[in-house]
Amino acid sequence: MVGSAAIAGGLVGLAISYRNLPDVRSLKGYVPSETTHIYDINGKVLASLHDEENREVVPLNKISPDLKRAVLAIEDSNFFQHQGINPVGILRATLANAQSGRTVEGGSTLTMQLIKNLFLTPERAISRKVAEAVLALRLEQIFNKDEILEMYLNQVYWGHNTYGAETAAESYFNKPAADLTLAEGAMMAGIIQAPEAYSPFVDLELAKRQQKIVLNRMVELKWITSAEAEAAYDQKLKLGKITSFQSSRSPYVTDAVVQELSQRFGREAVIKGGMRIQTTVDLKLQNLAEETVRRGHARLIGQGIRANQMALVAVDPRTHFIKAMVGGIDYSKSQFNRVTQSVRQPGSAFKPFVYYTAFATGRYTPDSTVQDKPMTFNDGEPYSPRNYDNSFSGAMSIRSALASSRNIPVIALGQRVGIEKVIDVCRTLGIKSPIPPVISLPLGSVDLTPLEITSAYATFANDGWQSDATAILQVTDNSGHLLLDNTPQPKLVLDPWAAASLNSALQSVITGGTGVAAAIGRPAAGKTGTTSDERDIWFVGYVPQLAAAVWAGNDDYKQIGKGATGGGSIAPIWGDFMHAALKGVPVEQFTPASKFERPRSQRE
């Protein structure tokens, strides 16, 4: 103690020369970079995000006593006796360095190591060692021993971009730091001096030798018995795996979540902030969606359809939670997310927006009569729309026109109710993409993302009730404080009678129209989409519990081939997904329009 006080006094004098050293008081609010974890809605890990430092901070009482003792034994056995510097260690290092004529031993205490890791460079020089000692003394005046030990164990590097005891324990032994045995703790303590060389993933035999050194030191200190050391050394260890820079289980989902949160909190906060992000995605449905896209794309190629990409998104109408999102057929080849980033023409899948607008006026029902006959419209120049098969069906009900996807009736209806009103409905439904007010809009002459159209259809499925579509349920920081809460706050944005009428009409598409291949053995509504330029094919549909869209096409907008239609090619793929996704989910009927009051303001 006398020697320690003397050296401490000398260093205090030297400290005058080190007035520009960092202020250790800043550690009172210090938060190290920490790995962010992304989970599915059931708590299953989808991805772990970090920069160079893969770390999870835990309190000292969540770290195994065996690991703490092992680290102290090999790194600083006098930790609880000194005041930041160890005179005996310094003297031993000075003699060793003098004999070698160069710096070969540091004599650092655990406190000094922490200072070096946080504030200083790793160079071996007398000036740096003095700075270490000065700052170590200051640190021990501000923090107690447990606080310093906790900081050290959360800061120390354990190899493979792994920092801190918790992440290292999960990596090396696939368990929390709190559950480490003496054998495991001793091996981890032995790694610290040269983690890349001593790692059991690199050289298990060398790691065992280091483990034995630590155990022998603990026996020498009388912290464990020889029998305990021998038993620990003989214990068979089950190693884990390197956890740093692991690929996401659902990369399209991860990218979408990171992009959204980066815009809100900043990318550095997301990558280094130790966030806990619970998504709305159900990993079971996500895996099913990915497999559906793989098999579905192979089916299209087998049919001679030249579509190089496909996308699928599923949304829960009751919450507008995104349950699955597949932005392409192979993330490793293309990270472009076609669910959220690609805008494509929906073709006839846009028609329900026009028919809903008509129903909302109160002047039309699914049984109202419309004309499918040659018509010419003027919008600067004559426009004479045609049906897909170039035929005309004459007078028919709206239900039949929608089921058979006739073009001329919906164009005429769009003119009667007003294109601007149709656009207003789209905006109400959350569609933000530009929408040109052209006569051909009812045929889908607009570019939308699959997520936009699926979210809108989900509002139809929920009788006009809408929440903001999201893939993020909530976000907390590393202490559990809530940063973002996307608990649904549904609002009634559509007329329920008009929405229910549309749901009724869209069921006819599947029961006897262009979407019969989408039948799934329960009430379902939906619409096919095929662009006249043969570049996009769709099916968008729903049951009361789930809405989904499947799209296929080419990123370069090349034609996919004659004869490819949403009903013939995509509807079966949609049906496969929905049938599997709804396995075990109770059958629900759509609410009949008769349960709601028909709009009166414009009724004839």
DSSP 8-class letter at 24: G
Q: Are strands 36-39 and 45-49 parallel, antiparallel or unpaired?
A: antiparallel
Question: How many angstroms separate the CA atoms of 286 and 308, rounded?
Answer: 21
26 is catalytic: no
Residue 101 falls in which region: left (phi positive, over 0), alpha (psi -120 to 50) or beta: left
Cβ atoms of 111 and 140 closer than 8 Å:
yes
CA 40 – CA 285 distance, rounded (Å):
10
C-alpha 581/C-alpha 550 separation (Å) is 14
Beta bridge partners of 315: 322, 547
| CA dist., res. 435 & res. 428, Å (int) | 13
Q: Which residue has the tokens 């494509």?
A: 344
Please state whether beta strands 54-55 and 162-163 pair in parallel, antiparallel, or not at all (unpaired).
Answer: parallel
Amino acid found at 527: K
d(CA 530, CA 551): 10
Q: At what angle do helices 165-173 and 145-155 cross, to 10 degrees?
A: 50
- Give the pairing type, strands 382-383 and 394-397: unpaired
Q: Which of 108, 199, 348, 455 is catalytic?
A: 348
Tokens of 108: 């650092």
The residue count of the chain comes to 604
Q: Is 184 a catalytic residue?
A: no
Catalytic residue among 56, 75, 150, 170: 75
Angle between helical axes of 407-417 and 419-428 (0-180°, round to 10): 90
Question: In terms of C-beta density within 10 A (0-12 exposed, 13-18 middle, 19 or more buried), how is residue 61 classed?
Answer: exposed
Q: How far is CA 201 from the centre of its chain?
A: 29
Q: How many helices (H) and strands (E) does the chain have?
A: 21, 18
Cβ–Cβ < 8 Å for 548, 580: no
288 residue type, one letter: L
Pull the structure tokens for residue 302. 């087998």
Pair 467, 489: CB distance under 8 Å: yes
Retrieve residue 317's tokens: 């109408």
Phi and psi, residue 132, nearest 5°: -55, -50
Alpha-carbon span 80 to 452, nearest angstrom:
61
**Which tokens is 492 given?**
């009634």
Closest CA to 375 of 417, 344, 353, 406: 406
Q: What residue type is assigned to position 420 of the chain?
A: E
Q: CA 398 → CA 164, 366, 564, 602, distances in Å?
A: 66, 5, 25, 18
User: Helices 145-155 and 65-75, interaxial angle, to 10°?
Assistant: 90
Catalytic residues: 75, 348
